[in-house]
Structure 1
Amino acid sequence: MPTLICGSVAYDTIMVFPDRFKHHILPDKVHMLSVSFLVPEMRREYGGCAGNIGYNLHLLGGEPVIMATVGQDFGPYADRLKTLGMRQDCIRVIEDQYTPQCFITNDLDDNQITAFHPGAMGESHHNRFDHVAGLKLAIIGPDGRDGMLTHVRELKAAGIPFIFDPGQAMPLFSGPELLDCVAAADYVALNDYEAALMEEKTGKGIADLAGMVKALIVTRGGEGSSIYVGGKEITIPVAKAAAVLDPTGCGDAYRAGLLFGIDQGWDWETTGRLASLLGSIKIASRGGQNHKFDQASLRADFRTAFNAELPAW
């Protein structure tokens, strides 16, 4: 069954400064900051929330339909999606814009200086999904503000259940706007910081927000995650990772697990554990889309992590 994934498709340029920022930033001069860092190590990754979620859902055997706006430099990403066999019919190219870009510089203490250029993402409200046959599930991830609001309204009007996942785009919305989006959604996914921000902006606690949807999911990094459903909290444990190399895209991998479990009709304990496992697999590799798994390896890893079996699909 096709699953619509609304959100960003981006290039992540990641650089490593082989020193510590604190050695080169003078505290008494931050009002006139002008610094330059030599970064001999650099890599370019395929990313963006929608791109990462789609990649993981594709590995699971789902049919992701990424809906995003990209720019004139999208060619290499398009070639990658074609090689993977992933649909591109809901990806719109804006020729006078660039594909969203994230520029990240890390130092030896894993501090980050990040700059994000939204580029074509600001045109996401022009995207449509009318031509996608058999669409029964969707997720709205971080995207252009107008695009997110438009897709909330359109998915609600079409009767297509969806996860509202505002992520780092949350500051773009007022409290009432967030409440409208939650009320229209079937599910909400947040990390623990975003959950606290949602409570602050809306004036409603997690229990109240969870009561507005079928399920509300809060991820807590190394402390696992919680799924609030039916007036109770289901605690999802962390799956131990083979290595902890890069958290970039772990939340997106988790969300792909949620989408797959919902699509399969699995219970929330199983769905949450699959999502947790995908996050742990992702964190063991650098970049948002360089990890791999298949059904056999996933079943074995699930058995090891949770002493339980994944249902057949």
Structure 2
Amino acid sequence: MRIAVTGSIATDHLMTFPGRFTEQLVADRLDTVSLSFLADGLDIRHGGVAANIAHGLGKLGLRPVLIGAAGRDFAAYGERLAAAGVDISAVRISATLHTARFVCTTDQDQNQIATFYAGAMTEAADIDLAAVAGRHGPFDLVLIGADDPAAMLRHTETCRDLGIPFAADPSQQLARLDRARLRRLVSGARFLFTNAYENALLRRHTGWDTTGVLERVGTWITTRGADGVSLERRDRPTLRVPAVPTTRTVDPTGVGDAFRAGFLTGLAHRRAPADAARLGCALATRVLETTGSQEYDVHLDSLVTETTVRP
């Protein structure tokens, strides 16, 4: 199965706050929030949703094509992704801008406050997916992840024009997309990925209820943290897959991206959607137990075993 992953490529700056964000919020002063949190630790890691997902696919034995924009500082990161099995030849390198930055602070309850600097990602709309597909295709699936909004729309329209199946994964860009653009991104997707909060936000922003969304997509996959994953299809019962438990939660950054990599790997190996979701949950737990979204080591056989024997 030939998979292309479009979306952000970034460097993550991950910090930890030993308290609770909620204890610092004053209910009747939320219109004038001005807060500073003294962090205990700082880890600088490789990230970006497309790079995270592509890295996971590569580690599990596939050779995904990464499609996104990065800066001139991408060379060492690119070598690392290539070593993990990712085809980076379609990455656009900006002549003037840095690779995007994700700055995130996590509190003791695993709540997060983050800021994202787009940098070179603003040039992603200049990437011609049709030309990439001509060089690397045919693609069996293109995952369209959070990216410059114009790039997301362009890639979606290209998939429709060329008849390439695509997965819609708007995630962090839900807040930036108006109703018309979000409807265009979602309609016709073979898969739609959201987390539980994004599920509600997507329904609000599109103006569609759950039935309305399911009339326009193949399978709607919603990750629900410790409550696992739900898979919904029109006129079919909802499938629920439990999370793979852990006793060692370290950092939630990149957990959703890992799920997507595991799920798509399962599909590539012709597993049923529920079984593919179990693989996704297992890989997500690996990342949850690790600082950084690409610092784990995994093999498909061990991950398959983990879905059946892990307590």
Question: TM-score if structure 2 supplies the norm length?
Answer: 0.89
The aligned counterpart of 2:297 is 292
For 2:294 and 2:41, the matched residues in 1 are separated by 19
- Which letter does structure 2 place at the counterpart of 1:227? L
How many angstroms does 1:245 deviate by?
1.2
Shift of 1:296: 2.9
Alignment of 1:187-206 (within 5 A): 187-206=191-210
Unaligned ranges ≥5, structure 1 = 307-313
Question: Distance between the aligned counterparts of 2:91 and 2:119, measured in 1?
Answer: 14
Q: CA RMSD in A?
A: 2.6
Corresponding residue number in structure 2 for 1:77? 77
Q: CA deviation at 1:62?
A: 1.1
Verify: 1:271 aligned to 2:258, yes or no: no
Q: What amino acid is aligned across from residue 248 of structure 1 in structure 2?
A: T
The question of whether the paired residues in 2 share the 8 Å contact of 1:138 and 1:163 is answered with: yes
C-alpha separation in 1, matches of 2:22 and 2:209: 38
Do residues 168 (structure 1) and 172 (structure 2) align?
A: yes
Could you tell me whether the CA contact under 8 Å between 2:252 and 2:288 is conserved in 1? yes
CA apart distance, 1:184 = 3.0
How many Å separate the matches in 2 of 1:24 and 1:91?
Answer: 41
Select 1:241's aligned residue among 232, 240, 246: 246
Aligned match of 1:133: 137
The 2-side partners of 1:107 and 1:193 are apart by 18
Which residue in 2 is equivalent to 1:103? 103
Report the identity percentage.
Answer: 30
Cα distance in 2 for partners of 1:299, 1:21 equals: 37
SS state of the match for residue 243, structure 2? coil
Matched, 1:211 2:211: no
1:57-72 alignment runs, 5 A limit: 57-72=57-72
Contact 2:153–2:184 (8 Å) recurs in 1: no
Confirm whether residue 149 of structure 1 aligns to residue 148 of structure 2: no
Aligned to 2:258: 253
Q: Return the letter of the residue paired with 2:160.
A: K
Q: TM-score, normalised by structure 1?
A: 0.88
Residue 6 of structure 1 aligns to which amino acid in structure 2? T
Structure 2, unpaired ranges of 5+ = none
Residue 53 of structure 2: aligned partner: 53
Q: Deviations over 1:120-160 (max 9, x none)?
A: 11111111223213311110010000000000000111111
Does the 8 A contact of 2:55 with 2:85 survive in 1? no
Q: Is the 8 A contact 2:14 2:103 kept in 1?
A: yes
The aligned residue for residue 288 of structure 2 is 283
The CA distance in 1 between the partners of 2:138 and 2:124, in whole Å, is 22
Match of 1:11 in 2: 11
C-alpha separation in 1, matches of 2:228 and 2:14:
27
Q: Aligned residue pairs: how many?
A: 305
Aligned amino acid, residue 209 of structure 1: V
Q: Which residue of 2 aligns with 1:304?
A: 309
Contact 1:162-1:187 at 8 Å conserved across structures: yes
Counterpart of 2:86? 86
Q: Residue type matched to 2:92 in 1?
A: R
Q: Which moved more, 1:5-14 or 1:173-182?
A: 173-182
